[in-house]
A and B are shown apart, each in its own frame.
Chain A
């Protein structure tokens, strides 16, 4: 089953609906890498709320997605890992090191918003036109 990838502003959201075959995972990876360039996305969220099991290949694919999108200029965050699944993964040594994780979609968006603030501020804000664009108007979340 294909994973739907939605574009939400500057981010891409991939919602994994069920247990995926290896081919599905590869397809999802290819799609995300492609679309990150196409939409000039700054962040990717992979939502695994509906997933009960993640095997080693799935974990590796998630890590690969994070690293590959990183090379293409987008941060990736994995959201919605169940508590039981989290502990099982750690016990199997699949702790997704170096990959950002968040509790749910909302947290993931907050993380990406804080993480990927625009480097150049828009000129239409009176405050930003005066000073250096340290605190862009796009910046939400915690500093």
Chain B
């Protein structure tokens, strides 16, 4: 009959005078008393299990101490807010060090085991009492493990989201190289989401820069599947609806082969071998002619 709410309420119903809160108090006192010894035992087992290999022994011990204290405090107060913010803080520090999720979950579970063992040792003579102590301890310990693991994973996800955002912003530059001429260099893998974003940026760029010609350079794209290739064709069509001509440059042999094999209709768009050729073609379309200032500057 364990209540999920605060731990202040009796965890075990109708066991007489000893409430769960008293049991927990006894438990916390025990953990405080044996702090040094249990901490060391825990740190030893972390090293033994080859967890937190990215950190030195001293660092592990220092972290173990603060985790231990927070752990005992969470047991005592029955509130998890402090622990939550501590675990987020801890995650922020250790994620850049390369600590994995399984390690964090592993160490918290190890601490739980170490503490449970010490309880077994202390109450081995009184089985009923041990049972009641564990009844009070286990739900709290599980919640603590949960809190720490969830905090770690959330922190990790937050970092991943931030990085994705950063990559996304970096990855779609629409650049004006001449009046009414835009280039869109694409580097890396194009997934459907990125493709959609590229299209959006390009169409918006055409409108704001009043572009007549756009050169899309895909030299830096290693591979392309049918869906993305189709998207590219659609982008070219949509650009035409805005009155801009699109020139695609730098199709690698692999992409060319893929496109022919899967039957993507590239006949509708202009393609030029490399970016230089593409820009020259674009200049021709816009009526530019590039001349050297001196006829033959090197000779003479």
Residues of chain A touching chain B, judged by Cβ–Cβ distance below 8 Å, are 78-79, 81, 83-84, 86-87, 89-91, 95-96, 101-103, 107, 111, 142-143
Say whether A90 contacts B204, CB under 8 Å.
no
Say whether A96 contacts B241, CB under 8 Å.
yes
Say whether A90 contacts B237, CB under 8 Å.
yes
Say whether A90 contacts B234, CB under 8 Å.
yes
Please name 5 pairs of A and B residues whose Cβ atoms are closer than 8 Å in the assembled complex, sorted by A.
A83-B200, A87-B199, A90-B238, A95-B241, A142-B286
A90 to B235, CA, bound (A): 8
Say whether B203 contacts A95, CB under 8 Å.
no
Residues of chain B touching chain A, judged by Cβ–Cβ distance below 8 Å, are 199-200, 203-204, 206-207, 210, 234-235, 237-244, 286-287
A95 to B234, CA, bound (A): 9
Residues of B within 8 A of A101 (CB): 240-243
Q: Given A90-B234, A142-B287, A143-B287 in contact, is the A95-B240 Cβ separation under 8 Å? A: yes
Residues of B within 8 A of A142 (CB): 286-287
Residues of B within 8 A of A86 (CB): 203, 238-239, 241-242
Least CB separation from A78: chain B residue: B241
A112 to B204, CA, bound (A): 24
| Contacts A86-B239, A89-B238, A103-B243 known; 12 new A-B pairs at CB < 8 A | A78-B241, A81-B241, A81-B242, A83-B203, A83-B242, A86-B241, A86-B242, A91-B234, A95-B241, A101-B241, A103-B242, A111-B243
Q: Given A86-B203, A87-B203 in contact, is the A103-B244 Cβ separation under 8 Å? A: yes
Q: Which of B203, B206, B287 gathers the greatest number of chain A CB atoms within 10 Å?
A: B203
Residues of A within 8 A of B287 (CB): 142-143
Residues of B within 8 A of A96 (CB): 241
Residues of A within 8 A of B286 (CB): 142
Q: Which of A78, A89, A103 gathers the greatest number of chain B CB atoms within 10 Å?
A: A103
Rounded to whole Å, the gap between the CB of B176 and the closest CB of chain A is 15
